[in-house]
Amino acid sequence: MLDDLGLVPALRWQAREVSKRTGLRVKVSAEGVSEDLPEGHKTCIYRIVQESLHNCAQHAEATTVRVSVHQEPERILLSIQDDGKGFHAGQDRGLGLLGMQERASHLGGAFSVETRPGQGTSVSVMLPTHGAATGSLQAAG
């Protein structure tokens, strides 16, 4: 899917499919995201969004999810926020969250989860790009 469509279209396709299947309203916003990102970064972002949407549908009882991808010169920021029931982050970390954290760490990134019961959940990821995609951003500017 990533190879055929590119990262942002693949994320939007994923959001539509989850919405059709579950009734969740999923909004994807992406700012300045280059298709020249390394494949590992694209895969990491896609899989973290996929797992987060799965968690929202299966566990969160959410109705709305916002996925935001924002690229800066030295890093890419990803956030997934839902309006679900939240959970006790210190107690209820499952394998899906651990897998997301490992994916981000493998690329030298940071991963965090902010949640409280009744307050929804926000997953944040920062991946350093080290200038990997600056060529196409400069050409587009």
pLDDT digits (tens, 9 = 90+) for 94-104: 778 899 999 99
Band the pLDDT of 4: cuts 50, 70, 90: confident
Pairing of strands 121-128, 25-31: unpaired
Q: How far apart are CA 54 and CA 22, in angstroms?
A: 10
80 within 8 A of 65, measured Cβ to Cβ:
yes
Model pTM? Answer: 0.87
Q: Which two tokens stand for residue 22?
A: 């579950």
- pLDDT tens-place string over residues 76-118: 999 999 999 998 766 666 778 899 999 999 999 999 999 988 9
Domain boundaries, the chain: 2-140
Domain topology for 2-140: Heat Shock Protein 90 (3.30.565)
Is 19 in a helix, a strand, or coil?
A: helix
70 within 8 A of 35, measured Cβ to Cβ:
no
The whole-number pLDDT of residue 68 equals 98
